[in-house]
Structure 1
Amino acid sequence: MIAALLLLLPLPLLLYMAAPRIREMLSSGVCTSPVQLPGKVAVVTGANTGIGKETAKELAKRGARVYLACRDVQKGELVAKEIQTKTGNQQVLVRKLDLADTRSIRAFAQGFLAEEKQLHILINNAGVMMCPYSKTVDGFEMHMGVNHLGHFLLTHLLLEKLKASAPARVVNVSSLAHFLGRLNFHNLQGEKFYNAGLAYCQSKLANVLFTQELARRLKGSGVTTYAVHPGSVNSELTRYSTFMTCMWWLFSCFLKTPEQGAQTSLHCALTEGLERLSGEYFSDCRVGWVSAQARNETVARRLWDVSCDLLGLPLD
């Protein structure tokens, strides 16, 4: 017994020493596209921190006019100044967007449409994870309301601008967690039964299904769409869960950096020749596997119709 314990003692040190190599193995996907974006317009939600911030920074570095769509405008302004300084691109703008409030989403869209003539890249990046049971301003369960319905509405409101700017792309940040998701249309808002982890997984499954149905509806329009799994990233996403925050801290040396986590979003937004893969789910900059329910066209169409009904949008 003592001998076994002695053998295990060096294990934490060995793991720590191996951490850079393990992180490299888990971060194999890198966006290698050389595409530059002068004259292009991009919107990134949740761009004041983490993956969104790094995504916006790279788009600005390539010359795009980038809108940081953030709930915290003050923090967004600080990030915009940082990106402007690092990239030399002064066309980094901050606009208020609270995905937990449909009035804020509509106000953002209305302002953007009045301000801009084109939109080439929409990256639906913002999200919440492991929230205690709570509701958005409009009464939606927080995960479903922010992660899916908020971005569903935003995309719908900006869709004609995307079509008029084609070729254009929509990137929806999902997660590997969608494999554990099941869409229960009789408990979509978690009022009959609620588990924070399952609610998050359900919303990430909704992201994948939304992407597939959107691709089907946009076929031939010049607008393509992709769902992405950024990987396990050391970010603020776990802020609502003490347990997940502790786990992220404990294993932080193995997690991707936000810059590494942004690579698959950038790959889908920038890489030429991906048009034929519209609707696909990407992980580490390549097409990944999805769950059985995520491939169900009937469920995807039903989710679209239910989402329109909840948001008061016309069925088409």
Structure 2
Amino acid sequence: MEFFPISIFQLLFTSILSVIVTGLICVHIWLKSTVGKFYSNERMDGKTVLITGGNNGIGLETIRDLARRGARIIMASRKIDLGNQVRDSIMKETGNGNIIVKKLDLSSQKSVREFADEILRTEKKIDVLIHNAGCASTSNKKKSVDGIEMTYATNHYGPFLLTHLLIDLLKKSAPCRIIIISSAYYKIANVDLSNLNPLDTFPFFLYYVTKTANVMFGLELAKRLKDTKISVLIVNPGMTNTDIFKKVPFPLNLAVKHSFKNAWEGAQTTIMTAVSKKLDGVTGKYYSDCRQEELKSFVKNEVKNKIFWEESVKMCRLRHSDPTI
């Protein structure tokens, strides 16, 4: 019998591969064992839900579920043709004909204002506003039409402006809910108050930063609306296989494909916070896997959150004639 010697390189490669495989298996087991599911059969008849970014992923599954529960749904979509296709498919699937598609590009302040004006003209109430839309770029540095870094413009400033413009209608609709989709990734990022338009920062890391911004926005919003009957709930969908991760390189793409939640699983906490009567009157809380979770202390700094809010007002060019919160 002939034996072939194993080189140090082969041994090292095998060891690294074993660590990666073991790590992926552990991630898979942990993620699948912690998935939260919302089993309630509560209805949403007579409720109007406005959701941004519902053409695919978590937003699509959220719309599908709420449509089954009888909600009237306004889909705010950047790609209007795709939005219409999704609407027609869900209407056929659920039998719910009360689904409307309206044009909205959250990265454009002009588009946000035009969308808000149309909602204020045509809608009598909004029972649930879901800030679901988001974007992430791996490396391409882009600016919005307003000269704002694209990830920040879409993930924070757009929802911030839209909330302000719709706040009077929301107050008239109370009790109602505002749901802000964030991420557990807020734990690894920090908002730099000295650079709130970071055009030279690595774009994909800015996705994490904007998830921190979402939490800061939600906490300050809840604080400012504490004397109203508008609840503000912040949601972590968990690590979900959506378009945001479609360009993740090997071997991380294996973890995304085989271990991350699918879109239905990722939508469960959003659905719970939109539907559950148990959350009536609850505000300023963060939910993950259908359970309330404590936020890290650094993101609950009220002084910093207030400053961030005030600077966001400037970035969104809010006018004296605009509603204030």
TM-score (norm 1): 0.89
Residue in structure 2 matched with residue 281 of structure 1 by the alignment: 286
Q: Please say if residues 233 and 287 of structure 2, whose CA atoms lie closer than 8 Å, have aligned partners that are also in contact.
A: yes
C-alpha change, 1:274 and 1:233, in structure 2 (3 Å) is same
Deviations 1:22-70 (A, max 9, x none): 553141x112333211111111110001000001111111111101111
Helix, strand or coil: the match of 2:224?
helix
Q: Please say if residues 33 and 272 of structure 1, whose CA atoms lie closer than 8 Å, have aligned partners that are also in contact.
A: no
Helix, strand or coil: the match of 1:184?
coil
Of 128-137 and 69-78, more deviation after overlay is shown by 128-137
* Counterpart-to-counterpart distance in 2, 1:233 and 1:266: 15
Residue in structure 2 matched with residue 127 of structure 1 by the alignment: 134
Structure 2 residue aligned with 1:257, among 258, 262, 273? 262
Whether 2:88 is the aligned partner of 1:93: answer: no
Structure 1 residue aligned with 2:85, among 57, 61, 78? 78
Whether 2:217 is the aligned partner of 1:213: answer: no
Helix, strand or coil: the match of 1:262?
helix
Q: Please say if residues 19 and 253 of structure 1, whose CA atoms lie closer than 8 Å, have aligned partners that are also in contact.
A: no
Q: Which amino acid aligns with 1:53?
A: L
Structure 2 residue aligned with 1:300, among 278, 301, 305? 305
Q: Please say if residues 28 and 259 of structure 2, whose CA atoms lie closer than 8 Å, have aligned partners that are also in contact.
A: yes
C-alpha change, 1:250 and 1:304, in structure 2 (3 Å) is same
Number of matched pairs:
310
Residue in structure 2 matched with residue 31 of structure 1 by the alignment: 38
* Counterpart-to-counterpart distance in 1, 2:195 and 2:68: 43
Structure 1 residue aligned with 2:150, among 111, 132, 142? 142
C-alpha change, 1:14 and 1:248, in structure 2 (3 Å) is closer
Whether 2:110 is the aligned partner of 1:103: answer: yes
Q: Please say if residues 213 and 304 of structure 1, whose CA atoms lie closer than 8 Å, have aligned partners that are also in contact.
A: yes
* Counterpart-to-counterpart distance in 2, 1:209 and 1:14: 36
Helix, strand or coil: the match of 2:70?
coil
Helix, strand or coil: the match of 1:227?
strand
Q: Please say if residues 180 and 198 of structure 1, whose CA atoms lie closer than 8 Å, have aligned partners that are also in contact.
A: no
Residue in structure 1 matched with residue 184 of structure 2 by the alignment: 176
C-alpha change, 1:105 and 1:21, in structure 2 (3 Å) is same
How much is the aligned-residue C-alpha RMSD, in angstroms?
A: 2.6
Q: Please say if residues 238 and 245 of structure 1, whose CA atoms lie closer than 8 Å, have aligned partners that are also in contact.
A: no
Helix, strand or coil: the match of 1:205?
helix
Shift of 1:247: 5.2
Shift of 1:197: 3.4
Shift of 1:176: 0.8
Q: Please say if residues 170 and 223 of structure 1, whose CA atoms lie closer than 8 Å, have aligned partners that are also in contact.
A: yes
* Counterpart-to-counterpart distance in 1, 2:214 and 2:237: 13
What percent of counterpart residues are identical? 34
Helix, strand or coil: the match of 2:278?
coil
Residue in structure 2 matched with residue 58 of structure 1 by the alignment: 65
Helix, strand or coil: the match of 1:123?
strand
Shift of 1:138: 0.7
Of 16-25 and 51-60, more deviation after overlay is shown by 16-25
* Counterpart-to-counterpart distance in 2, 1:12 and 1:175: 24
Q: Which amino acid aligns with 2:253?
A: W
Structure 1 residue aligned with 2:314, among 297, 309, 316? 309
Q: Please say if residues 177 and 201 of structure 1, whose CA atoms lie closer than 8 Å, have aligned partners that are also in contact.
A: yes
Q: Which amino acid aligns with 1:170?
A: I
Shift of 1:113: 1.6
Q: Please say if residues 133 and 155 of structure 2, whose CA atoms lie closer than 8 Å, have aligned partners that are also in contact.
A: yes
* Counterpart-to-counterpart distance in 2, 1:61 and 1:50: 17
Shift of 1:190: 1.2
Of 79-88 and 271-280, more deviation after overlay is shown by 271-280
C-alpha change, 1:40 and 1:190, in structure 2 (3 Å) is same
Deviations 1:267-286 (A, max 9, x none): 11111232454111111111
Q: Please say if residues 26 and 256 of structure 1, whose CA atoms lie closer than 8 Å, have aligned partners that are also in contact.
A: no
Residue in structure 1 matched with residue 169 of structure 2 by the alignment: 161
In structure 2, runs of 5+ residues without a counterpart are: none
Q: Which amino acid aligns with 1:258?
A: A
C-alpha change, 1:34 and 1:185, in structure 2 (3 Å) is same
Helix, strand or coil: the match of 1:234?
coil
Shift of 1:109: 1.1
C-alpha change, 1:246 and 1:65, in structure 2 (3 Å) is farther
Shift of 1:228: 0.8
* Counterpart-to-counterpart distance in 2, 1:289 and 1:11: 31
C-alpha change, 1:26 and 1:311, in structure 2 (3 Å) is same
Helix, strand or coil: the match of 2:231?
strand
Residue correspondence of structure 1 range 224-263 to structure 2 within 5 A: 224-239=231-246, 242=247, 244=248, 246=250, 249-251=253-255, 252-263=257-268
